[in-house]
Amino acid sequence: MRLEPRSFEEPRADREDGQKNTKDGFKDSLVGGSGIMQETSPKFVTLEIDRLAALENYATSVGSREQLAIVEFARSLLVIPNTLAVNAAQDSTDLVAKLRAFHNEAQINPERKNLKWIGLDLVNGKLCDNKQAGVFEPTIVKCLKFATEPAITILRIDDLIKLTPRKQR
């Protein structure tokens, strides 16, 4: 068996692609709350709670079946702040309830729109204004973006798709 030079190039190209993907993945994971931040800051989680409040308010305007899916998807966003608070040895129930109240108020009352910047300060175990603290999460690389589309697709499947068997000749 004779190996061609090309056969040695392919594994190397695959390895280089893997290294690049790992590097890009690491760079993309540098978001607030991921534990691997470019600048260590214990203040984050404004996006998830803001989307939660928006989705819960939107769900009230949708038909019953879709409303349930929207509300459940919105509630799934609570996993992120709850987990972060628990891992920081803080009272997650109290912190997340206060955080939800602020973000809900920002959604309902246009005069209090600045409350959408409230996030968790897990060092001090309280809420803080992330905008004032200079903490901004790169929403472009949020997994939320990538998780939403498959969730919508799965939730829209109402019927079982069954193929009819082919007739034998």
Q: What is the CATH number of the domain that holds 134?
A: 1.10.560.10
Query: For 55-108, what is each residue's pLDDT tens digit?
Result: 888 888 888 788 888 888 888 888 888 888 898 888 889 998 998 899 888 888
CB-based contacts of 45, cutoff 8 Å, min separation 6: 32, 33, 80, 81, 84, 99, 119, 120
Measure the N-to-C terminal CA separation of the chain; round to a whole number of Å.
45
The DSSP bridge partners found for residue 121 are 43, 126
Cα torsion at 50, 56, 62, 68 (round to 10°)? 130
Q: Count the neighbouring beta carbons within 10 Å of the beta carbon of residue 95.
A: 23
Evaluate whether residue 165 is within a structural domain. no
Q: Are 32 and 44 in contact (CB under 8 A)?
A: yes
- Asked whether the predicted pLDDT for residue 14 surpasses 80, the reply is no
Task: Give the pLDDT score at 119.
Answer: 86
> Within a domain: residue 132?
yes
Whole-number pLDDT of residue 94: 92
Is 161 a domain residue?
no
The residue range of the domain holding 138 is 39-155
Domain membership of residue 88 (yes or no) is: yes
Classify residue 79: in a domain, yes or no: yes
Q: Give residue-wise pLDDT tens across range 122-168.
A: 888 899 888 888 776 665 445 666 767 777 777 766 555 566 777 77
Is-contact 106 51, C-beta < 8 A? Answer: no
11 burial class (0-12, 13-18, 19+ CB within 10 angstroms)?
Answer: exposed
- Residue 137: predicted pLDDT: 67
Domains in the chain: how many in total?
A: 1
